Every structure is written in C-alpha cells, then in structure tokens.
Amino acid sequence: MDLFKELETEARLQYDEGELPLWLYEPIMDVARAPERYGDREYLVEMLLDQLREYDVYAEAGCCKWAYDDVDLKRTLGKLEEGR
C-alpha cells in the first residue's frame, strides 16, 4: 500500500476509535492527502506513521514511556513543515 494511503488509513482508525484528538487528526490528514508536497520527506512521513501506529494518549502516564504521545506527533508534524 502507498505510504500516504497507509497514513490516512491509520489516522482515520485512530480517530474513529477515539484515541487521536481532532487537533492532531486534521494536520495528519493534510499530510496524508498531499504526497506531492511531502514526497521529498518520506522518511518523516514513515516516522509519523510508525508513531501513529504506536500512539497512546497516556504514553507518559507511567514511570516509563512505552509509546508515542501528542508531543511526539506534534514534533514530527513540525519537522514536516520546516522549510516550507
């Protein structure tokens, strides 16, 4: 499956299950729907997809961070926008 399509599918799944907040869902979908804009940064799109697959809103709640949280996704989205 195409990387951007995978990102769109995973974002929709996470959002529909109530895990991913709208304020993260919308910019992730913007990336997923614009391969022509982000195609030169596929490594960051892959990173975003991996983080999304392991996303947990409570990743920082315990003594050890075992998943990715809002801060991680926001940071990767910011890196995608750098220099644009």
Show contacts of 29-38: CB within 8 Å, 24+ apart.
31/4, 31/7, 31/77, 31/80, 32/4, 32/5, 32/7, 32/8, 33/4, 33/8, 34/4, 35/2, 35/3, 35/4, 37/84, 38/4, 38/80
Structure token digits, residue 13 = 């799944």
Mean pLDDT by 10 residues, the chain (84 residues): 95 95 98 96 97 80 71 96 80
pLDDT at residue number 24: 97
pTM of structure: 0.89
